[in-house]
Structure 1
């Protein structure tokens, strides 16, 4: 009986492995489209474009859903996400979450600004959602080692209510009272963790 069960399991796996390999190839093909802006291995080299590597799975999924639904707007993203199925979105979330996140530059070129940013992070309780390491969790973004100018842009977009959708109301409340100097300091600090 055990040999029969093992044989059936082997036959079942043989049928699944080629399908899984095809799924992996399909998702890598879809992710390759993302690489044009978000960089090889999900690490952006383009100004104001976030790195996706290491972002929490659910965060990626929700952002793609918001773009697809039009509640989060971006001229480059809308045409790309229009054709994504729910399964594509789940697969892309898992794909980017599994990639190694970006690393901070080896040396902070402005430690005084980082100190001010750390104080702003504590004052705004950033760690209460983004975790103590700012690596994010579930549907909350990883902001540690993200591109500095992108973080500045995102905070300004939250502050002006240009960026909306999902739990973004919390971010608007957090960002609204930030001065331009605090935004610069906070972005610098987070980008150099």
Structure 2
């Protein structure tokens, strides 16, 4: 009798495990289908090949989730993102955040202008960018990854913070930092971060 009960318990555990595996596989397929909408602009594997469109691969999970919430609420404005985000469910926001966060971030290309990067490093140190974005500029929690991001997108983001076109999350801190930056400093720090290794 005891052997019979143990056998049933093992069988039940195996069924539960198989159910969890197939549910996990179904969840993965579902999030991949939802993420396919994103790849049209943000690129295969979350690495953008399109001007002024950021790469999502390797961005911190919480950061990605918050950006989707800001787009959905309309506090962060973008003509392409608003219609996509307006009906997105919280569960999908969580799934997409985890999905893109788990991807390998873009690798920086060879720096064609090391002198500009040197100036950008000075700007980043002077503006204490690493105090929020970490020493590796990989971001953390709700703070964006900057290392390897598209250069022209970083310029646009800083200009948007400077002019208060972009708000939400750490917007107050970023607006204060960017407001005091010259266009030359924005160009230099964006170059530095885009090629940071």
Alignment TM class, shorter chain as reference:
over 0.9
Shift of 1:17: 2.1
Alignment of structure 1 residues 87-166 onto 2, 5 Å: 87-105=91-109, 107-166=110-169
Aligned to 2:42: 38
- Equivalent of 2:30 in 26, 31, 51: 26
1:16 to 6, 17, 20: 20
2:63 match: secondary structure:
helix
Query: Which of 148, 153, 174 is residue 177 of structure 2 equivalent to?
Result: 174
Render the CA deviation track for 1:83-102: whole Å, top value 9, x for unaligned.
Answer: 21100000000000000000
**How much does 1:4 deviate?**
4.5
Q: Residue 54 of structure 1: which of 58, 70, 74 is its match? A: 58
TM-score, structure 1 normalization = 0.96
Per-residue CA distance 1:54-89 (angstroms, 9 max, x = gap): 000000000000000111010100111122110000
- Which secondary structure state, in structure 2, belongs to the residue aligned with residue 23 of structure 1? helix
> For this pair of structures, how many residues does the alignment match?
192
Flag the 1:2–1:56 CA change in 2: closer, same or farther, 3 A: farther
The residue number in structure 1 matching 2:74 is: 70
RMSD: 1.1
Find the structure with the greater CA-based Rg: 2
Alpha-carbon separation, structure 1, partners of 2:56 and 2:194: 14
What SS is found at the alignment partner of 2:153? helix
Q: TM-score, normalised by structure 2?
A: 0.94
- How far, CA to CA, are the matches of 1:58 and 1:3 in structure 2? 43
Q: Matched residue of 1:37: which SS?
A: helix
**Structure 1: which 5+ runs fail to align?**
none
